[in-house]
Amino acid sequence: MTTALSLRFPADFHFEHTIYSHGWCALFPFLVDRASGTLTRAVGDGASGSGVLRFSLPSQRRPRCELLTRGKPSAARLSAFASAARGILHLDLDLRPFHERMRTEPATEWIARARAGRMLRGETFFEDVVKMILTTNCSWSLTETMNARLVDTFGAEVAVGAKVAVGAEASSGSHLFPTAAAIADSSEDFLRREVRLGYRAPYVLELAHRVATGALDIESYRTADLSANELHRALRDIKGVGEYAASNLLKLLGRFDSLGLDSWCRAKFAELHNGGTVVPDSEIEAYYTRFEEWKGLVMWLDVTRHWYAEKFPF
DNA sequence: GCGTCCAGGTCTACC
DNA sequence: GGTAGACCTGGACGC
């Protein structure tokens, strides 16, 4: 059955600019339908408390949010699904100070006008960390492939009695992102040989073990009253999470004071600001330093500005 | 075909 | 603390 979820959206919310904010919408269990402007994904615990969230236009400011489930969800489950939806769209992030700052310069005024800056997140922070590890040192297409195999192999299937997706996407699109316990129950050899994670396999397995056993309460990072530096240190303590990954994970926690440069950002910065010649990271850092606690977000929006003017690549 | 390079990096050993 | 080298995969490219 389909149930409408009532979510409170911030005044500066923009649906498409959130779901296309970075590559997560192209990674299962997210599914985007560009033609209809719809984002869907399976959420829940893998049992009766599972369903599919469907966000859709017509309104960019207040998109429709529906829940597809096999039976009627209890009030408690509805509340849990609404909470998941809020987390995925990061609705609790207050971007008003950011947009106020962006309006103070002609070069960044477009960001406030576009209501850009909110980033799509996984259902759990565990999902975000695993996906970030899968982006390291490989092409984007390989990230998509590894993630799809991971979801297919370990993600519980969610049946809601309605068609969620068609064609090749139907399978992974109706699976949950794997739990830490499901991955921890595997082996490094299996993750290398079957899921083909390569040298990332021991990193993902160790993370899954730590989370599944309770040794690492990674979900608390989303609400922890820790400084950005403390969170950064905690993230760097995860094997496979280096400077790039930690900084970009901080962005998904609403902390934007580090850049999180990768080769793509460096090349894009060079193209935009230095005639195509790559510059040292220190020069990129200096360029954005005036934006202080927002510099990581300003950098990301600067190098992806053409997406907003032309076409989102996902 | 086949070899090489490298892509949305990170870790470890060594200095 | 700084740096070189190893590390999986798979697509692009040159031959």
DSSP A110-157: HHHHTT-------SSHHHHHHHHHHTTTS-HHHHHHHHHHHHHHHSPB
For chain A, domain boundaries: 2-99, 125-245
Distance A282 CA to B15 C1' (A): 24
Beta carbon of A189 within 7 Å of strand C?
Answer: no
Helix (H, G, I), strand (E, B) or coil at A41: strand
Q: CA-CA distance, A127 to A111, in Å (whole number)? A: 28
pLDDT in tens, A97-108: 999 999 999 999
Q: Is the CB of A22 under 7 A from strand B?
A: yes
Which of A150, A217, A204 lies closest to A177, judged by CA?
Answer: A150
CATH number for region A125-245: 1.10.340.30
Per-residue model confidence (pLDDT) at position A171: 56
How far is the first Cα of chain A from the last one, in angstroms, to the nearest whole number?
A: 29
Residue nearest to nucleotide B11 (CA to C1'): A240
pTM above threshold 0.85: yes
pLDDT computed for residue A66 by the predictor: 96
pLDDT in tens, A69-89: 988 999 999 999 999 999 999
- At residue A167 the predicted structure's pLDDT band, cuts being 50, 70 and 90, is very low
Alpha-carbon distances, residue A6 vs A42, A64, A86 (angstroms): 18, 9, 10
pLDDT value of position A170 = 47
Give dist(CA A158, CA A235) in Å, integer.
Answer: 31
A2-99 adopts what CATH topology? TATA-Binding Protein (3.30.310)
Q: Which chain C positions come under 7 Å from a protein C-beta?
A: 7-11
Nearest residue for B6, CA–C1': A138
Residues 118-147 of A with CB under 7 A from strand B: 135-140, 142
List bases, strand B, within 7 Å of protein CB: 6-12
Confidence of residue A273 (pLDDT cuts 50, 70, 90): very high
pLDDT at A49 (0 to 100)? 82
Residues 131-150 of A with CB under 7 A from strand C: 137-139, 141-142, 145
Q: Which of A128, A106, A107 is nearest to A119 (CA)?
A: A128
Question: Does nucleic acid strand C have an atom less than 7 angstroms from the CB of A236?
Answer: no
